Structure 1
Amino acid sequence: MPIASGAGQNPGIGQNVPESVGSNLGGASSINLRGLGSDATITLLNGHRLAFNTAVQSIDISAIPLAAVERMEIVTDGASALYGSDAIAGVANIILRKDYRGLTTRAYWGASTDGGNVQQNYSVTGGTTWDSGGFTVAYDYAHSTPILANQRDYAATRAPGLTLYPGFDRHNVLLSGHQEIMSGLTFSIDSLYGERKTDRAFASSTAGDYRVQGLRRKTNTRTISVAPGMNFEAGGGWEASFSGVYAEDRTLIRSDSYSSGIVSSAELCYCNKAFNLEGIVRGSLFDLGAGPVKAAIGGGYRKNFLHSYNRLVNNGQSIEASQDNRYGFLEVNAPIVRSENPDTLVQSLIFSGAVRYEDYPGIGDVATPKLGALLATGYGLTFKFSWGKSFKAPTLYQLYSVRGVSALDIEVFGGSGFPAGTVGLYSGGGNPDLKPERSENWTASAIFEPAFSPNSKVEFSYYSIRYRDRIVTPVTYITQALSNPIYADLISFNPTSDQINATLDGALFFNDASGEWDPARVGAIINSQYTNAARQKIDGFDISLSHRIEFDQMGNISLWATGSYIKSRQRLSALQPETELAGSLFFPPHLRGVAGFTWEKGPFKLTPVVNYIGGVKDRRATVTYDVGSMTTFDLTARLKIDSESPIFRGLDISLSAQNVFNDKPSLIATTSVSQSPYDSANYSPWGRYISFSISKSW
């Protein structure tokens, strides 16, 4: 989907991508809508939350067996009134198969033609049903080899010894079931277990061997989730549901640093847990003549835990914290007009509203409203409008990560005119006084389904997001901290001894300056702790078109195209100017799109697709450079056999080629061989990728 970004928490993110844009701490894959961050998109499994991954509030979707997934539902506007914290950019709800009967086995193999990225996947999905219930169970195993810099001509000399894209080994198991206990009372459960291992190397010298100078990082991730629920049909169109979730996401990261024959090791654990209880009552209140007015009222309790520590050394940087919140919500859906007369201008008019209240002890409470309207006319035109407010609670890492203070030579911060030997103190880390991030969103959509062409559909949406109190580290480039006047309100020049002592109090101190530590040499303090500082404006539109042509003898053709345009700007502090985000390096391009068609005749399908990712500008230096766009062409052929023969019955075979013409990402400037020489948040190093899969239903 063009609205999805490759930034956030994703395995291909390089070392030079800013922390606020994306990271790869354990090989997890997350959903990032609008490029606002995977922590600003809620990801649900069958409507319930999972545990957060590593230090950010993202959800690892690679732990979910794909064979057990039926579909994904996407909400592309602010939805905190309906779903709570983090729904700034939208919501992705992954829906599992239900009432599945039979057994399906699948084998998949694929590889990049330039080398590396050899993927294997084997899965088994089975299930059955009976009069009062059923269950589905799925097991998935996947293995992939890494993509190394020496396998790509644009990276071999620029980043020798670098792993561009990590390999992995992954095991996932899922069980989903439901059972009617008595008339109107049904018990259900979704449970998930996953393990993943990754391995990545970073050389830091042109020798290209991390064992001489560099870093090797191995990760081991375990995901657990158990979500039981009860649903009671009370009669009269009313029902009550109660659910609970217990989830864990533990990521162990072992880093071995090599320098001049000396090896130093660290083993970090990001151990997340989540606990949630929720109850909802739904039903019809009354009828205004156009249909029943429906309402839902509910509430719940949620608690998140983070234990982050070094398992090999007690270096004082561990975090052991939790955050709980209580919430209640009300939703109403009210049909106002409904007409069956095709000549009536207004066919239907529906209003909806919701409000949610959440209380975060020690952080604050938040009330978020949402209003919506849907108008369907008699000319195949439908209009939708929604307005609402959303929020995102600060992460436990942002709140409680240990504050660190580093002493560096004043020249590192761009300082000049100071006496020889002057140092600067850089202060960063957690801030327990953080408040929730907030946004105001509105979206307007028009859908056209003409009567003269019943197989055609055009949809256009315009959206606007005003995002404030974003949590950031306000000094973007420490090399400009003292030379650029936009950082003046974050600097304390010629600090007193009391100011120096207050900065050092309770912080981990690192003396990375020349010479021994001497407080008398401090010429400036740079304050860059996490703070509610940034304001962002995001505007854009989405458009999609589809049309189906049916032929008598030649089969059917379904055509589609979808595109997204985004413009976003940011101000980090009162003195800093408003800067462009979208269209800048590592941030989403202004324009993304995909178009294709599927030709279907009998059991055969052929699908060619064109993908376009717009170019961006590299504004990191005084001179701005253009980074070229990327256009790829994909082709998939699929044969689904429905035969009476037991050997061929339920056989599904596909052959696919992604990026057929092997388009490659444009190069960018780097300062180290450990940095990816391309924009890894937007463009892929996969190159041409060929895959084959075969599945059999038994």
Structure 2
Amino acid sequence: MTLKTTKLRDAITFALVVGATAAAGTGVAFAQDADEQEATTLDRIEVTGSRIKRTDIETSQPVFSLNREEIAAQGLTSVGDVIQNISANGSTLNSTYNNGGNGETRVSLRNLGSNRTLVLVNGRRWVGGTGLGGAVDLNTIPTAAVERIEVLKDGASAIYGSDAIAGVVNVILRQNFEGAEANAYYGQYDKGDGARQAYDFTVGSTGDRWSAMLGVGYVKEDPVMAGDREISAVPVFGSTPGFGGSSTTPDGRFCILGDVQFCQQPNGEYGLFNINPGTPNGYTTYRGSIDNYNFAPDNYLLTPQERVSLFANGSIDITDDIRFRATTQFNQRRSEQLLAAMPVTIIPLFNIGAPAFGPDDTVISADSIYNPFGQDIQWVQRRVTETGGRSYNQDVDTFAFNGGFEGSFDVGDRFFTWDLGYFYGENEQNDTTFGLFQYSKLKNALGPSMIVDGTPTCVTTAGDASTAIDGCVPLNFLGGAGTITPEMLNYVSFVAQDSYGYEQRNYYGSIGGELFDLPGGPLAFSFGVETRKESGYDQPDALINAGDTTGNARTATAGQYSVDEAYLEFAIPVLADVPGAELLEFSVASRYSDYSNFGDTVNSKFGFKWKPISDLLVRGNWAEGFRAPSIGELFQGVSDSFPTLLDPCNSVNFPGLTPEQQARCTSAGVVPGGYNQSNSQIRISTGGNPNLKPEMSESKTLGFVWSPSFIQGFDVSLDWWNIELQDTISGLSGQAIANRCIREGDAQACGLITRAPGGTIIDLLSSGLNIGSGEVEGYDMTMGYRMPETAYGNFNFIWDTSYLAKVEYDVDGDGTRGEVSEGGNLVGEYSDRNNNWRIRSNLAVRWEMGDWGAAWNSRFFSRQDEDCTGFDPVNTALLCSNPDRDVNNEAGRPVDAPENRIPSVTYHDASVYWNAPWNARVTLGVNNLFDKDPPRSASTFANSFDPQYELPGRFLYMKYTQRF
């Protein structure tokens, strides 16, 4: 037999290798030729989650699919945004992340983290992002090239290997396209900002023994400024004026460290002072939040991107039994984040700044020509708005190639298929950051200075021109906002140039077919081997690597690992066409993985599907899973952060410690009674751990699919799922390390803390450990109904809902889960950019009649509650929906526990299209039709609503499609 002897054989080969869906257009209902109609049928031959080639669409695992037309109906320009709208997705990066974002868009099924969701393209593992965390940046996949998206809502490490703990997203690209097609898209918010435009062109042709396709695409997404929306125009919307603002202001906040008083003003009075050139003394007393700086309007609310893509594929039949296929693509992303101007903070007492500087090393010198007070100023906080802000720019190039041979052969009357291939993927990223400062030059520019030949000159010794510092320009930090000149900035600032890279090479081969007949049909198998090598690097700017910067310092990262794998999968049909068992089939699979860094692991799965009657399918699965530690987790260089940490040994907490705990403080150098911790932001150094082991998981699903024969076109599926995690990689927070050391006597934790004389924490090291665990559980329901044709046209309904029943985590290995919520279950509990919606639900309605069509999509997010402690009484009353809430502590005593309710929200999107007689389509649409504002949050970092919600405002768009 040959590849072309039967229609079924062609169907199987085409569907499984090409992975193409029906209409080769952007969801346009044009007349299709015979090949396209056949492709529509063949799309149902293989479903993500199995390597076995079969003609039955139904497997034992739940899979949700979006075709090209359903994708287009959402009116979005990023495949990442489309995937983030899936009901099973949780919280992760997107373009609404400005402070903390990097231009990437990721997916996090079950809210287990983007590194626990495997992303495939055409059934093959996609190259990881340059963040070195192992997660895929969905923006590296060209939007115009996507044919459909399949989402496996189950663990699949036995089939695909690492990362497939929460599920698998398989993006299928367009192939076997015949003809030509052009698309043009433009949209913007009704506020007049946030414009998006997209253009693409695809051309392809097929012959008897070959096919070829080429496509190009361009997408540009403009920003939205935070100041242009009421909810984001202040740091904390709904609070008192100045609350949440920065104490580091454009005029500056300063103090002189006195011999008697800790912090004093130039006249000797106690307290910090602000520069105020309009007053007789040139300064005023700092008045707390009243004088804080509103940095919010200087930030992006929606970050900009520009993407250019090129994609191509082709195939040729070498013989009737052997075919060569190749797919290649290139995508370039340019993106930016814009933050308020850099706050220069020099508080030597707490060692905030470059660690090389001693307590008295960097000051505004009494001998500076710009210091009118004649005293050294040691405490310096000045936001340098003269720079125009901190601009972080990414230029990312992604290249991927997948090529190989496939074929078939017969042994007796048994038919087998095989493939051998190679995948190469590479991400290269160059970052440019503006608005940073070099600490060593700040030291020079703030030090002694004098006028030499009419020119302001920095000197190392006051009054001695012979000690002039070459190139240094004295810096005026005490003149108020706007007094720093371009010449001053040019000396103390620098443009950071960072580079990142990630590379993946994968060789694979498989063979499969049917071995022998069982009572329910032939026993089918798939056996495959793979070898993969992944490597990555992070090369920071030399000044950042050396720590000589006002930004967070970090050292270089570089590392790699390799893995050899083999898998075996069986489909075992036990019964068919007997009473009580129209079908009973079991599936088993196992994968052996041998990693170069931690050794080997074996992960298996077992599933079943049973049709007691033809209308009902019952299905279930048990699967082991794992996630190998990423390049960053293994080899990341040391970097700095400054989180909030309340030291158990400070003077407030010290009296509440036991004598044994107090002794641990004093033995570490803390003064008796505890020290005065005036600053809650402590330096934390984080880095990689090459001794990490893989995370492990166990997932279970059980559900049914009902397709009643008496309701044509209707089906409903309901699945229960449960995922347990063990040995999760978690970096202990600085607070957890300090508590473990002092409160629990953990010597290993104490060894991570460095204290200055007197007890102040000046450094703390944190790296990942396999110490965590967790469990999530819920239900998925998907209901579809394609109504019979009516006099009013054709109607199609899809309702997809995820219900979350349990979320429990133990992130620090102390055996306690869900510490931030009562009862340990985090369902319905919100914390900073971490959503645990009980219900996420999407309803899509489509209508077609003649040349007209329309779509209506609704997206529902259930309410959540967030912890609302830490505010003063006035703002607690303003920001918290339940400010007087109490809970009982471990001793049974009531303690204040104010809470804020984040209400539920439903977004509605609508579009209408017309098929023109010249083989074109015109689409008009509006997302967030009813202008629903996002629900306010009191705890979301750098914003007053979570990035997973829509920006305020309607988004209007138009799309034109032309086929040739």
TM-score (structure 1 length as normaliser):
0.88
Checking the alignment, whether the CA contact within 8 Å between 1:491 and 1:524 is kept in structure 2 is: no
Distance of 1:565 and 1:397 partners within structure 2: 33
Checking the alignment, whether the CA contact within 8 Å between 2:436 and 2:495 is kept in structure 1 is: no
Q: CA deviation at 1:194?
A: 0.8
Residues 392 and 486 (structure 1), Cα distance of their counterparts in 2 relative to 1, 3 Å cut: farther
Deviations 1:651-673 (A, max 9, x none): 1111111111111112223698x
Letter in 2 for 1:7: S
Q: Secondary structure at the match of 2:298?
A: coil
Distance of 1:559 and 1:670 partners within structure 2: 37
Q: CA deviation at 1:285?
A: 0.8
Residues 296 and 54 (structure 1), Cα distance of their counterparts in 2 relative to 1, 3 Å cut: same
Q: CA deviation at 1:9?
A: 3.5
Residues 551 and 425 (structure 1), Cα distance of their counterparts in 2 relative to 1, 3 Å cut: closer
Q: Which residue of 1 aligns with 2:180?
A: 103
Deviations 1:643-694 (A, max 9, x none): 4xxxx12x1111111111111112223698xx122111x2122631111101
Q: CA deviation at 1:187?
A: 0.6
1:677 aligns with 2:944: yes
1:265 aligns with 2:495: yes
1:147 aligns with 2:224: yes
Q: Which residue of 2 aligns with 1:664?
A: 933
Q: CA deviation at 1:378?
A: 1.8
Letter in 1 for 2:899: T
Checking the alignment, whether the CA contact within 8 Å between 1:4 and 1:31 is kept in structure 2 is: no
Checking the alignment, whether the CA contact within 8 Å between 2:843 and 2:857 is kept in structure 1 is: yes
Q: CA deviation at 1:198?
A: 1.0
Letter in 2 for 1:697: R
Checking the alignment, whether the CA contact within 8 Å between 2:730 and 2:769 is kept in structure 1 is: yes
Residues 560 and 239 (structure 1), Cα distance of their counterparts in 2 relative to 1, 3 Å cut: closer
Specify the structure having the higher radius of gyration (Cα).
2
Residues 587 and 655 (structure 1), Cα distance of their counterparts in 2 relative to 1, 3 Å cut: same
Which of 632, 637, 647 aligns to 2:907? It is 632
1:590 aligns with 2:838: yes
Residues 406 and 352 (structure 1), Cα distance of their counterparts in 2 relative to 1, 3 Å cut: closer
Checking the alignment, whether the CA contact within 8 Å between 1:403 and 1:428 is kept in structure 2 is: yes
Residues 4 and 218 (structure 1), Cα distance of their counterparts in 2 relative to 1, 3 Å cut: farther
Letter in 2 for 1:377: P
Checking the alignment, whether the CA contact within 8 Å between 1:326 and 1:358 is kept in structure 2 is: yes
Which structure 2 segments of 5+ residues have no match?
Answer: 1-84, 236-295, 344-381, 438-476, 478-483, 547-553, 655-669, 819-824, 870-896
Q: Which residue of 2 aligns with 1:513?
A: none
Q: Which residue of 1 aligns with 2:146?
A: 69
Letter in 2 for 1:355: S
Distance of 1:469 and 1:480 partners within structure 2: 18
Q: Which residue of 2 aligns with 1:237?
A: 415
Q: CA deviation at 1:252?
A: 2.0
Q: Which residue of 1 aligns with 2:632?
A: 397
Q: Which residue of 2 aligns with 1:690?
A: 956
Q: CA deviation at 1:390?
A: 0.4
Q: CA deviation at 1:549?
A: 2.6
Residues 107 and 6 (structure 1), Cα distance of their counterparts in 2 relative to 1, 3 Å cut: farther
Q: Secondary structure at the match of 1:530?
A: strand
1:32 aligns with 2:108: yes
More displaced stretch, 90-99 vs 653-662 = 90-99
Q: Secondary structure at the match of 2:297?
A: coil
Letter in 1 for 2:177: Y
Letter in 2 for 1:688: R
Q: CA deviation at 1:518?
A: 5.0
Deviations 1:215-257 (A, max 9, x none): 2111111100111111121223112101111111122222223
1:223 aligns with 2:398: yes
Letter in 1 for 2:596: P
Q: CA deviation at 1:269?
A: 1.8
Letter in 2 for 1:217: Y
Q: Which residue of 2 aligns with 1:185?
A: 322
Q: CA deviation at 1:214?
A: 4.6
Checking the alignment, whether the CA contact within 8 Å between 1:140 and 1:172 is kept in structure 2 is: yes
Aligned counterparts, 1:48-447, within 5 A: 48-55=124-131, 56-158=133-235, 159-203=296-340, 211=386, 214-235=389-410, 236-258=414-436, 261=484, 262=489, 263-313=493-543, 314-315=545-546, 317-339=555-577, 344-378=579-613, 380-403=615-638, 415-416=650-651, 417=654, 418-419=670-671, 426-447=684-705
Q: Whose helix fraction is larger, Structure 1's or Structure 2's? A: 2
Q: Secondary structure at the match of 1:43?
A: strand
Q: Secondary structure at the match of 1:687?
A: coil
Letter in 2 for 1:163: Y
Structure ranking higher on relative contact order (CA contacts 8 Å, 6+ apart)? 1
Q: CA deviation at 1:104?
A: 0.1
Q: Secondary structure at the match of 2:230?
A: coil
Distance of 1:425 and 1:143 partners within structure 2: 38
Q: Secondary structure at the match of 2:227?
A: helix
Q: Secondary structure at the match of 1:105?
A: strand
Report sequence identity in percent. 24
Residues 64 and 411 (structure 1), Cα distance of their counterparts in 2 relative to 1, 3 Å cut: closer
Distance of 2:841 and 2:166 partners within structure 1: 19
Q: CA deviation at 1:602?
A: 1.3
Q: CA deviation at 1:77?
A: 0.4
Checking the alignment, whether the CA contact within 8 Å between 1:422 and 1:521 is kept in structure 2 is: no
Distance of 2:525 and 2:949 partners within structure 1: 44
Checking the alignment, whether the CA contact within 8 Å between 2:772 and 2:813 is kept in structure 1 is: no
Q: Which residue of 1 aligns with 2:94?
A: 10
Distance of 1:573 and 1:46 partners within structure 2: 38
Deviations 1:588-614 (A, max 9, x none): 312111124222211211222221112
Letter in 1 for 2:564: R
Which of 855, 861, 874 aligns to 1:613? It is 861
Distance of 2:98 and 2:727 partners within structure 1: 27
Q: Which residue of 2 aligns with 1:509?
A: none
More displaced stretch, 582-591 vs 106-115 = 582-591
Q: Secondary structure at the match of 1:8?
A: coil
Q: Secondary structure at the match of 1:154?
A: helix
Checking the alignment, whether the CA contact within 8 Å between 1:319 and 1:400 is kept in structure 2 is: yes
Deviations 1:284-310 (A, max 9, x none): 111113211111111111011111111
Distance of 1:446 and 1:471 partners within structure 2: 34
Residues 485 and 287 (structure 1), Cα distance of their counterparts in 2 relative to 1, 3 Å cut: same
Q: Which residue of 2 aligns with 1:19?
A: none
Residues 43 and 128 (structure 1), Cα distance of their counterparts in 2 relative to 1, 3 Å cut: same
Letter in 2 for 1:293: L
TM-score (structure 2 length as normaliser):
0.64
Distance of 1:554 and 1:276 partners within structure 2: 52
Q: Secondary structure at the match of 2:633?
A: helix
Q: Secondary structure at the match of 2:231?
A: coil
More displaced stretch, 79-88 vs 455-464 = 455-464
Q: Which residue of 2 aligns with 1:569?
A: 808
Checking the alignment, whether the CA contact within 8 Å between 2:157 and 2:165 is kept in structure 1 is: yes
Distance of 1:211 and 1:165 partners within structure 2: 23
Residues 65 and 410 (structure 1), Cα distance of their counterparts in 2 relative to 1, 3 Å cut: closer
Which structure 1 segments of 5+ residues have no match?
Answer: 16-22, 505-516
Aligned residues: 658
Q: CA deviation at 1:486?
A: 10
Q: CA deviation at 1:276?
A: 0.5
Distance of 1:519 and 1:265 partners within structure 2: 36
Distance of 1:485 and 1:575 partners within structure 2: 13
Q: Which residue of 1 aligns with 2:283?
A: none
Checking the alignment, whether the CA contact within 8 Å between 2:90 and 2:109 is kept in structure 1 is: no
Q: Which residue of 1 aligns with 2:58?
A: none
1:467 aligns with 2:725: yes
Q: Secondary structure at the match of 2:584?
A: strand
Residues 329 and 576 (structure 1), Cα distance of their counterparts in 2 relative to 1, 3 Å cut: closer
Deviations 1:470-498 (A, max 9, x none): 111122xx4676469997466768x6xxx
Checking the alignment, whether the CA contact within 8 Å between 1:331 and 1:352 is kept in structure 2 is: yes
Q: CA deviation at 1:39?
A: 1.2
Checking the alignment, whether the CA contact within 8 Å between 1:413 and 1:480 is kept in structure 2 is: no
Q: Secondary structure at the match of 2:110?
A: coil
